[in-house]
Amino acid sequence: FIAETTEQAADDFYGPQAEVMNRIGRERGWGPTSRAHFDQARSPNGALFVGNPEQVAEKIVAQHRIFNNNRFLLQ
């Protein structure tokens, strides 16, 4: 999820993402998610690609350095 600023991307994406994760979590017996967990998941070592264009591009390049992949698919 990309926005003009990292803060805007995080603020815009957190609400819907937390709603879905909490719904799935209730179905599976997980505890609720938190903003701290979300922030960790969007950090450079986390699974989420959320930020400004440069930050997301840097994360894609960093993963390429690790995995030497020749394709990148994000949905």
- 20-63 tens-digit pLDDT: 999 999 999 999 999 999 999 999 999 999 999 999 999 999 99
pTM attached to this predicted model:
0.87
Contact 4, 50 (CB under 8 A): no
Angle at Cα 24 formed by Cα 22 and Cα 26, nearest 5°? 65
In one-letter notation, the amino acid at residue 11 is D
Give bridge partners of residue 51 from the DSSP assignment: 2
* Amino acid 56: pLDDT: 98
